[in-house]
Amino acid sequence: MGTNRLAIVDRAHGRQPVVDPASGRLIVMNGEIYNHEELRAELEAGGHHFRTASDTETVLAAFGAWGPACVDRLDGIFAFVIHDPATGSSFAARDHLGIKPLYMATAGGWVAFASERKAFIGLMAGVTELAPGHVWADGRISRYAGFQAAHDPAVIGPDPVGRCRALLDAAVRRQVQTDLPLAVIFSGGLDSTILLHLATRHHPDVTAFSVGTEDSEDLAFARAFCAERGIRHIVTGFAPEMIPRRIRGAIFDGEFFEPVDISDMISMSAVHATVRANGFKVAIAGDGADELFAGYDMFRTAADPYALTTYRVGNLHRTDLQRTDRASMTHSVECRVPFLDRALVDFAMALPFDLKLRGGVEKWILREAFRGEIADVMIDRPKIRMPEGIGIRDRIFRHLAHDRPGRELTLPPVTIDTPQVRNALLHYLDFGFDAPASRYKSVGTDYAPGGYFRFDATSEATATAI
C-alpha cells in the first residue's frame, strides 16, 4: 500500500500508510475529514490513543471502533482502503457523492485500487469505479448513502431561505478550517461570489483566483467585486494559442472524452496551476450549485425536474467533480466543494421547485439567501456557461472538431453525435484507457439536442456536422 500524499493535516507526522499498532491494520486515504477532531475526541474518550494529529489515523481508529458503519460518521471528501494483514480482509469506501475518485481492477485473484484510471494502463484491464456512497468489503459492494430529489417540508423547515443561508455558511466554515492560506476559484458568477463572501468571513488569508481573456464578462465582474471588498485577486490570462497544445493533456489528466469536460478542464487546469505556483495547497470551488439549485436552462423545460435533479447530482462524479479533482490534484491542490456538503445536499434535494425557479429566475432561493449581504449586481447576474463567461467561447470546440490522433483506432459502440466526441474518444483510447461502455453525458439530460452552446452560425455548423 502506498500513496503520493498531499500533506495538509498534520503535515509533519501524517505519512501514509498509517498503521494501527494494536490491530496491525493499515490505511491509505485520499481526501479530507472535516469533523476528524470531533471524532478523535469521542474515540479518545473511549480509550483510544493517537500517535499523530492526522485525519487518516482518525478514520482508521473509527473503523476499529465502529466497523464499516464508520462511514456514516465521516463529514468530508474521501476515498480510502484499509487492509488487515492478520486476517487478509480489506475494506474500501468512497464519499457520499464521489468527490474523491476510487477505481479498482481484478486479475489473477488480485484486486487493486487507485485514485486514477491511468494507474492501471498496461497492467490491468477491466477497470471499474466504486460508486459514490458505496463501500467494498472483501469483494462485496454495498451502498450507505444516496440522494433522491423530492419535496419534503420536514427537511426544509419553516424558513427555507434562512436555512439555506445557514447551511451553506456552516459548510464553508467547516471546509476552510486550515492553517494554510486559502484559494477561492472565482468566476465572478453567483455561486463563487457567495463562496468568496463566506470564505473571507471564516478564514483570515483568502485569495481569489480567476481565469479568462482580457475582455471576458466574468473577469470584469470578478475584478470589480474583489476591488470593492479589498480581496487579493490573481488572474490567469487565457490566450487562444494555448488550446492546441493542451487538448491531449486535458484528456489524459482528466481521464474523460466529453468535449465540454475537456473545454472546462483546460481552463480550470490553468487556474489551478496558478494557484499552486503562488504557494496554495487548499482551494474551494462552486461545483454542484447548478445541479442542486436548477441553474441550467434544461431545468426550465424538464418534464420531471426532480428526476433530472436526481440524475444530474448522481452523475457529477463522472463529469464536473472528476474535472475538478483532476484539474486541482494534477497541480497538487486540494479543491473542496462546499455546495456538496452532505447536509446542504439533503436540504436542496428536498426543496420544491418553485423555490429554485421563480419568475423566470434560476437559483432563486440561493440568490435570496444572500441578498443584502452581497450587492444586487452580483446577486442578480444570470447564469453564463464557463466558455462564454471567461471569453473563450467555442474556440476549444472548434479546434477539437479537427484534432485527432495520428493512428487509426476502433471506436466502441457508444453514441457519437459530433466530431468533437469522436476525436476526443480517439485521443482517450490512444492513451491506453479502456474503451467506455457508454457516454458520460447524454442528450436530454446533460445537453439539448442541438448541443451545449450557441455562439454563432459557424459554431453551430461545426458542432453538428460529422
- What residues are paired with 412 via a beta bridge? none
55 is in an annotated binding site: yes
Residue 211 known to bind ligand: yes
Neighbouring-strand partners of residue 212: 237
**At residue 77, what is the residue type?**
I
Q: What is the 3-state secondary structure (H, E, C) of the chain?
A: CCCCCCCCCCCCCCCCCEECCCCCCEEEEEEEECCHHHHHHHHHHCCCCCCCCCHHHHHHHHHHHHHHHHHHHCCEEEEEEEEECCCCEEEEEECCCCCCCCEEEEECCEEEEECCHHHHCCCCCCCEECCCCEEEECCEEEECCCCCCCCCHHHHCCCHHHHHHHHHHHHHHHHCCCCCCEEEECCCCHHHHHHHHHHHHHCCCEEEEEEECCCCHHHHHHHHHHHHHCCEEEEEECCHHHHHHHHHHHHHHHCCCCHHHHHHHHHHHHHHHHHHHCCCCEEECCCCHHHHCCCCCHHHHCCCHHHHHHHHHHCHHHCHHHHHHHHHHCCCCEEECHHHCHHHHHHHHCCCHHHCCECCECCHHHHHHHECCECHHHHCCCCCCHHHHCCCCCHHHHHHCCCCCCCCCCCCCCCCCCHHHHHHHHHHHHCCCCCCCCCCCCECCCEECCECCCCCHHHHHHHHCC
Q: Three cell numbers at 190?
A: 453567483
For the annotated binding site for L-glutamine, the residues are: 55
For the annotated binding site, the residues are: 55, 211
For the annotated binding site for ATP, the residues are: 211
